Structure 1
Amino acid sequence: MSRLEGANLVAMFLLELGVVAAAAVWGFTMPGNVLVRVVTGLMAPILFILMWALFGAGANSRFPLTGRWRLALELIWFGGGALAWASATTPLVGVISFALWAINAVLRVRLQGSLIPGD
């Protein structure tokens, strides 16, 4: 594995953490009473984590996706994170988040031949 591949995998991990953080921030800052914000702030990241664990965690996922299905999952997952950042902060933060994922995805395909890390 080259240094660039390793750095890109670290970047992907940080982007994944960013999506979970975005879901939490979105939930805790949404309008509503405290109970709604707490429940949403806890449940949104849990749902994102479950989706990633079931379908996106590379070779360790319960139902690994490849090809177009993997791309669809990542578009939904990282796009959802970008929308959460945009809603909770500013649209620019969401655009930057999505752009970083797109760069990371292109690099994964160019360096590894696949979106799935370690493939």
Structure 2
Amino acid sequence: MVLNLVLRFLLELCVLMAFGYWGIQTGKDMFFKLLLGIGAPALFVVLWSMFGSPKATFPLSEIWHFMFEFVIFSLAVIALYATGKTQLATIFAILIIINQILLSVFHQR
């Protein structure tokens, strides 16, 4: 089901935004706001391209890939909670769970 893969891509973009928002909200002054606001999403992009994406440089076995995704997406949910966006974090977590279930049901891993 193509819509589930579209949802997956949108969730990955939301991870970028969550890390960026967390970085901007967490930084104490403008330098650290920019450093964290750009650095956290950049770190995600590097890690995702190396291990998480379908064309990853270092593809992981299925269980390790699931664990990697679990950690990355959980950190994004925690980042939203930490910045006070609890409702958004809850909705995001629910969408991640639904997406994971559908990925398994439709064998889209």
> If the TM-score is normalised by the length of the shorter chain, which range does it land in?
over 0.9
Mapped pair 1:29 → 2:25: yes
Paired with 2:104 and 2:4, the residues of 1 have a C-alpha distance of 11
User: Cα RMSD between the aligned structures?
Assistant: 1.2
The residue that corresponds to 2:57 in the other structure is 62
Sequence identity of aligned pairs in percent?
29
The residue that corresponds to 2:106 in the other structure is 111
Can you give the 5+ residue segments of structure 2 that lack an aligned partner in the other structure?
none
Paired with 1:28 and 1:89, the residues of 2 have a C-alpha distance of 13
Deviations 1:11-66 (A, max 9, x none): 000000000000000101114111111111010000011111000101x1011113
TM score, norm. by length of structure 2 = 0.93
Deviations 1:53-85 (A, max 9, x none): 000101x10111132101101111111111111
Amino acid across the alignment from 2:16: V
The residue that corresponds to 2:86 in the other structure is 91
The residue that corresponds to 1:15 in the other structure is 11
Can you give the 5+ residue segments of structure 1 that lack an aligned partner in the other structure?
none
TM score, norm. by length of structure 1 = 0.86
Amino acid across the alignment from 1:33: D
How far residue 100 of structure 1 moved from its aligned partner, in angstroms, is: 0.6
The number of residue pairs the alignment matches comes to 109
Paired with 1:90 and 1:28, the residues of 2 have a C-alpha distance of 14
